[in-house]
Chains A and B, each alone.
Chain A
């Protein structure tokens, strides 16, 4: 193969990576089931990424008694399935599993990654007898990018924030819309 062809191939790989990132998001937003979640913001800034609001959800911290755990113990970085049940107006987590669960009407299973977990029960006991007390989960919907200077206003606004995410057939979640006091935030 000539140098020109190798060059075109190398550039094409990079372009496909960039387009693939966008296409994956577009697929989830276009085909996914809408889920409303309550959230609260913080406000970091990154040179490479600009200003963004970091969103924390009620479903980010799953606690014993509020959800059921199956397939535990989980390890940090493990992919787990969280079943969400439709509420009014916000969806709530009801169960956590290491395998994809069957879902009923009004439920959806979303993939998350374990950040860390704490345990209840005998601290020195066998791992099989210990139960998760709290599991911190990340879903890939924790960042909302805003125009420069808008993040602090959002954070100091003391308004209630909520988001609409889409969950596709593969369990992947994508941030779709963000609402302040029930009104969609848009800068366009």
Chain B
């Protein structure tokens, strides 16, 4: 009897491994065939993915070609003809996409790609109509009209690629709006949280959830920097670093509380927190000296809002976890570490702060690797090992670049890298031995 569908990466690895088992005499070719026979869907999934990638690439090429064709602004074509051509291209692509995706016995992957092409053509159409009629409106508004225009299509088709496009267009819009002038643009988080996030859940796309999370970080950073405009670059970095830590803690808490995709949110949140801590391990070299501003001197509404969301997340995660595993150590508590560090970093003088954040980063990286082992996630372990190496190399360059003979510096640096690589590879193998797939849920 066939097993249920399994992840394509897992099945692919099984197929490559099983040939080695046969050649090593562990199993017979007949046993290989019967094992592979349990996962017939994995072959089809691989083919489907190839078809989807090919047709999506085709859509992107056609979309780029159409944009460039109209960008040439051929004078022989009248304005009415150009408008009709744009509308016909959009409707034709959607019509063909619907036919191929939903008609019985047809080609759903091709249909999906054509619907995606239609949403690209619609975006191109906004600027092409502006070109035809010499319209000169506020440029970022084009991205807003694009993102909002394809949003209902995402709901109607559940197309994950159209959803990615929506998130991308709206995020470009808010970044352009917020960096072009002082603006908090509260419409962006509202659309993301009230519309795009539920849609991501419906289409079950962790990547879309991660895209929304990164977009909201960009929005939050731009809003904070708007409030703090005029600050010296020295302290802008310090503010950005602590926003990364606060926001990373929030995302991490969502992940470990399983309020979002566990692996994606845990990994992203941890990375953001570690990146924020890393920024504060340096002596701040730019601008005049002075006391680091408190994070609470930033926009009070935004910081308080983030704190409130964090508190709600933690409470929901703790309650859910207590019901599932009474008395177990909750990982949510680790989210408190970057929060406390971010809120109180300004109280320390510069050198003690650098030392404290180096220790914190070291502890955080080690804790991150342990978490990856506990979650049985190679991705988390590998990211943790990478972060560890980056931290060590940075300090090596900081401390020894000016103090040592150059040739000795590079020789020792090279040996450090080679030795570190050997050490990490050996331990990673030991830790991840027997996990089987790329990532295994704990």
**Residues of chain A whose beta carbon lies under 8 Å from any beta carbon of chain B:** 3-4, 6-7, 9-11, 13-15, 17-19, 21-22, 25-26, 46-52, 76-77, 113, 138, 140-148, 174-175, 187-188
Contacts and interface: CB of A to CB of B under 8 A. Distances in A.
Interface of B: 67, 70-76, 78, 83, 86-87, 90-91, 94, 98, 102, 118, 122, 124-127, 129-138, 142, 145, 149-150, 152-153, 155-157, 181
B187 to A, nearest CB: 15
Nearest to B67: A48
**Which secondary structure dominates where chain A touches chain B?**
mixed
B149 A140 contact: no
B91 A15 contact: yes
**Which secondary structure dominates where chain B touches chain A?**
helix
B243 to A, nearest CB: 25
Of listed A26, A50, A147, residue having the most chain B CB within 10 A = A50
A14 B150 contact: yes
Contacts of B74: 147
A76 B72 CA distance: 34
B134 A49 contact: no
Nearest to A26: B133
Contacts of A22: 83, 129, 132-133
A148 B72 contact: yes
**Which 10 pairs across A and B sit closest by C-beta, in order of nearness?**
A187-B75, A50-B71, A143-B136, A6-B156, A10-B152, A10-B153, A48-B127, A25-B133, A175-B134, A10-B156
A26 B83 CA distance: 12
B136 A140 contact: yes
B133 A21 contact: yes
Given A18-B126, A188-B75, A145 B134 contact: yes
Given A14-B153, A18-B90, A50 B72 contact: yes
B156 A7 contact: yes
Given A6-B155, A48-B124, A18 B86 contact: yes
Contacts of B124: 48
Of listed B135, B152, B155, residue having the most chain A CB within 10 A = B135
Contacts of B83: 18-19, 22
A9 B152 contact: yes
Nearest to A51: B73
B90 A47 contact: no
A4 B95 CA distance: 11
10 contacts: A10-B157, A11-B153, A14-B122, A14-B153, A18-B125, A47-B67, A49-B71, A145-B134, A147-B73, A147-B75
A25 B83 CA distance: 13
A143 B129 contact: no
Of listed A11, A141, A143, A147, residue having the most chain B CB within 10 A = A11
Given A3-B102, A7-B156, A10-B152, A50 B136 contact: no
Contacts of A175: 134, 136
Given A50-B70, A188-B75, 11 more contacts: A18-B83, A18-B122, A25-B135, A26-B133, A50-B71, A51-B73, A144-B134, A145-B131, A145-B134, A146-B73, A187-B75
A49 B74 CA distance: 13
A37 to B, nearest CB: 14
A7 B98 CA distance: 8
B133 A49 contact: no
Nearest to A188: B75
A118 to B, nearest CB: 16
A153 to B, nearest CB: 13
Nearest to A186: B75
B157 to A, nearest CB: 7
Contacts of A174: 133-135
Nearest to B121: A14
A67 B156 CA distance: 53
